[in-house]
Amino acid sequence: MKKLIPNFITLLNLFCGCIAAVFAVHGVFEMVALFVFLGIVFDYFDGFAARLLNVKSELGLQLDSLADMVTSGVVPGLVMYKLLDMSFSGSWGVSLFGEASDNFLLSGLHISSFVPLLGFVVTLASGYRLAKFNIDENQTDSFIGLPTPANTLLIISFPLILMYHNNDILNAIILNHWFLIGLSFLSAFLLNCSLPLFALKFKNWGFKDNSIRYIFLILCIILLATLKYIAVPTIIILYILISVASKLGDKKS
- DSSP H helical ranges for the chain: 4-25, 29-53, 58-69, 75-89, 92-95, 103-106, 111-114, 121-135, 148-164, 168-174, 177-192, 207-227, 231-252
Q: What is the mean pLDDT of residues 169-178?
A: 93
Q: What distances in angstroms separate CA 114 from CA 81, 167, 234, 239, 246, one per listed residue?
A: 10, 28, 30, 33, 42
**Phi and psi angles of residue 197, each rounded to the nearest 5 degrees, phi first:** -130, 140
Considering the domain 4-252, what is its CATH architecture? Up-down Bundle (1.20)
Distances (CA, A) of 69 to 87, 135, 216, 218, 228: 26, 16, 26, 29, 27
CA 221/CA 229 separation, integer angstroms: 12
Residue 252 above 90 pLDDT?
Answer: no
Q: Which pLDDT band holds residue 24 (cuts at 50, 70, 90)?
A: very high
The confidence band for 111, taking pLDDT boundaries of 50, 70 and 90, is: low
Spans of all domains in the chain: 4-252
Residue 72, CA atoms < 13 Å, CB-side half-sphere: 32
pLDDT of 163 > 80? The answer is: yes
Instruction: Please give the share of the chain, as a percent, with pLDDT higher than 70.
Output: 87
pTM here? 0.87
Instruction: Please tell me the distance from the alpha carbon of residue 109 to that of residue 203, in angstroms, as a whole number.
Output: 54
Q: Does 49 or 112 have the greater pLDDT score?
A: 49
Phi/psi at 102 (5° precision): 55, 30
CB–CB of 187/118 below 8 Å?
no
The amino acid sitting at 189 is F
pLDDT in tens, 200-213: 877 677 777 788 88
Predicted pLDDT of residue 97:
45
